[in-house]
Amino acid sequence: MAKVYTSCPVEYTASIISNKWKIIILRDLITGTKRYNELNRSVVGISAKVLTQNLKDLEQDGIVNRKVYPVVPPKVEYSLTSKGQELKSVLDAMREFGLKYKDK
């Protein structure tokens, strides 16, 4: 993903969580480390290709950590970095907004 070079902090944050899939991936990783297949099951409606690309983007942005274990079959785990953990308050605010207005 091309980074937005801007002095606006809101625009910078939006460039990191730029689509609904990234937000949902972050929602699932807030609760802890997940394997690829766990994310694939919990992010309903996403294709494997799109999930992989979004995880790569989040890793490149320093939001997600990818840990590969040298075993057969391959084992890969994803977790939030400390920078990624700081997005929890953003997701909490989005959750509160949704709870307040989604049924109105």
- All structural domains of the chain, each given as residue ranges with its CATH number in brackets, are 9-101 (1.10.10.10)
Helices (H), 30-103: 36-42, 48-60, 82-85, 88-101
Dihedral over alpha carbons 67, 71, 72, 77 (to 10 degrees): -20
Chunked mean pLDDT (size 10), the chain, 104 residues? 71 90 97 96 96 97 96 94 96 94 88
Cα 9 from Cα 25, distance rounded (Å): 22
Provide the whole-model pTM: 0.88
Q: Note the pLDDT of residue 3.
A: 61
Q: What pLDDT shows up at residue 98?
A: 94
pLDDT recorded at residue 40: 96
Q: Which pLDDT does position 80 carry in this prediction? A: 98
Cα-based torsion angle of the residue sequence 75, 45, 87, 12 in order, rounded to the nearest 10 degrees: 110
pLDDT at residue 6 in the model: 74
Alpha carbon distance 2, 31 (integer Å): 28
Do the Cβ atoms of 62 and 3 come closer than 8 Å?
no
